[in-house]
Amino acid sequence: MFKKILIANRGEIACRVITTAKKMGIQTVAVYSDADKDARFVLLADEAVNIGPAPSRESYLVGDKIIAACKQTGAQALHPGYGFLSENAEFAKRVEEEGIVFIGPKHYSMAAMGDKIESKKLAGSAGVNCIPGVNSAIETAEKAVEIAQGIGYPVMIKASAGGGGKGLRVAYNDKEAFEGFTSCRNEARNSFGDDRVFVEKFVEEPRHIEIQLIGDAHGNVVYLNERECSIQRRHQKVIEEAPSPFISDATRKAMGEQAVALAKAVNYQSAGTVEFVVGKDQSFYFLEMNTRLQVEHPVTECITGLDLVELMIRVAAGEKLPMTQAEVKRNGWAIECRINAEDPFRNFLPSTGRLVRFAPPAQTMFQSNTQDWLGVRVDTGVQDGGEIPMYYDSMIAKLIVHGVDRLDAIAKMREALNGFVIRGISSNIPFQAALLAHPKFVAGNFNTGFIAENYAQGFKAEDVPHEDPHFMLALAAFVRRKSRERAASLSGQLPGYAVNIGSDYVVVTLGDDGSNAYTPVHVDEFAGKTGFARVKMGASSYEICSDSRLNDVCITGTVNGAPFTAQVERGTPKNPLALRLQHNGTRIDVLVVSPRMAELHSLMPFKPMPGLLVDVAVAPGQKVQAGERVAVIEAMKMENVLFAAADGVVSKVLATKGESLTVDQPIVEFA
């Protein structure tokens, strides 16, 4: 077994590999860019080597620097994680030629599966179901249209070297096929330096289901069941689960056996994933093979009880697989949500900056632990107070739950999302909560078009209807009552000026547009204990019990005997006296005041604070890079600089220097 391995990656996956290596008694070496010098994975590793500036093309994608770090530290093996150089066959070959073991498949297996056209030919010869189409590169748009007519619409036009949704179009007629071919070719040339394009049948109501497998150097390959990855946004996976709620045991067996046949055909030795597109009639076709560890591997670990990273390391060291196909387990149900640094209410705009607060829900399952199941696990590469750089992937954590069945797993995930505290940046947690509550998702009735169909106009706050909105108002009243009780208990209060706890309040719900709703509530004690209160709203009554402290952001307890987890913050950007509550993806801002104060508040018109546009640093037609200054706004004697979140071209400047701005007024529009 290796004594020291280097992880040629960063963030969450680097932390994941380090955890298993420590369990196995293996020393670890991290490589890091200037942007990651204080990152969590650097602190976790036994050694760390700086490999260059923040941009990945100058650090994590430079094979020479990574190989030099292996030699410098005496690392015997290299784990590539996922992304970056993990599927670069030339890099894997060079690593092996330098006498370093690549913890992944052999370079020739990777090369065979890395080309989408060649991999389809190999799959077909290995007896794997392939989608009808032309697997050789197409030279002209006219030829693409002719082929599409022969296959029958709809068709998928796809770049051979594509990935991450780039170089992919679906065409339903000749015009779309002609235009799609040209777009795909240009996109592929610009993104990958390879403009080969092919055409295949587009499977309607498709589901993305993949088979996890592992092979060793002794000719053994087993499949570790499947993962359902159909919940995708712009071809990027959002929620993954294992097993799939859709396929039958017979389909699972057939897909697994075909995946193994393909792996054996290329002498595959490591963890890998064969991706299939599955039609509504359970017909399935080969998509591609990912010759690396997948982001969503934890859900497979949950249902099989295996540590996939450990298996990869052992196989790379020459050991045989410790189990046969018959010994592979399938216990319970696992779901993974990708927690991304993006604002779902602003068209998923990337969100970077400092994590003012990062407090994941309590974990009962842990990376590399193959003993404890049926709980919650968090895989992350960040920590409280850490920085989210703009140079890398937006995923900051993976939240994984394991339940006895699918409904149990969904319930666990919803509660875990409620307890996931992220402040300082925006996250997609509200969107995840909405997806988990959607009736079609709960019923397992979805395909890869689910998000596009159900959120065609983007994601809005009203897309997350709370099943009991009065509960959130009751919780706000409970928190206010407990705060008043504590204030009243302080000693030394002057006679006649002591805090009056009171029982009657009004919860004022503050609308973003200045509209307010006023709900009278009555709060009294019950059970005679601290942390207990009964809140009455008309005919509704909520008996709330909680031992959480008043300054806790995350509050847990019971309401009418049922457990709950919610988040409560004191003060909002617009009102320091307000409470902000979040539960099941719904967020509200409220004031809890006396009836007299509510009466006076209703007489106060809403006036949004304006800002003065001090400077506009761009002009129409100008190319702007991520992080470049766009405009400066002054409000309350403070200057706020707006930076570009991504590379782009300015199409319009909608406001002028010296103009007084209203809330959410657009300033600059990008093409």
Active site positions, annotated: 288
Token pair 């976790």: residue: 44
3-state secondary structure of 648: strand
3-state secondary structure of 26: coil
H or E segment at 600? Answer: helix 595-601
Tokens of 300: 């497979």
- For the residues of 225-288, what is the DSSP string, one character each? EEEEEEEEETTEEEEEEES-SS--HHHHHHHHHHHHHHHHHTT--SEEEEEEEE-TTS-EEEEE
CA-atom Rg of the chain in angstroms:
28
**Residues 470-488: b if buried by 16+ CB within 10 A, e if exposed:** bbbbbbbbbbbbbbbbeee
CB 312 within 8 A of CB 415: no
- Beta-carbon count within 10 A of 74 CB: 12
Angle at 291 between CA 290 and CA 296, to 5 degrees: 55
- Beta-carbon count within 10 A of 52 CB: 17
Residue type present at position 232: Q
Q: Which residues does residue 228 pair with via DSSP β-bridges, in sequence order?
A: 209, 241
Q: What's the maximum distance between 2 C-alpha atoms anywhere in the chain?
A: 91
Identify which of 313, 333, 332 has the alpha carbon closest to the alpha carbon of residue 322: 313
User: How far is Cα 365 from Cα 417, in angstroms, rounded to an integer?
Assistant: 16
First to last CA, the chain: 53
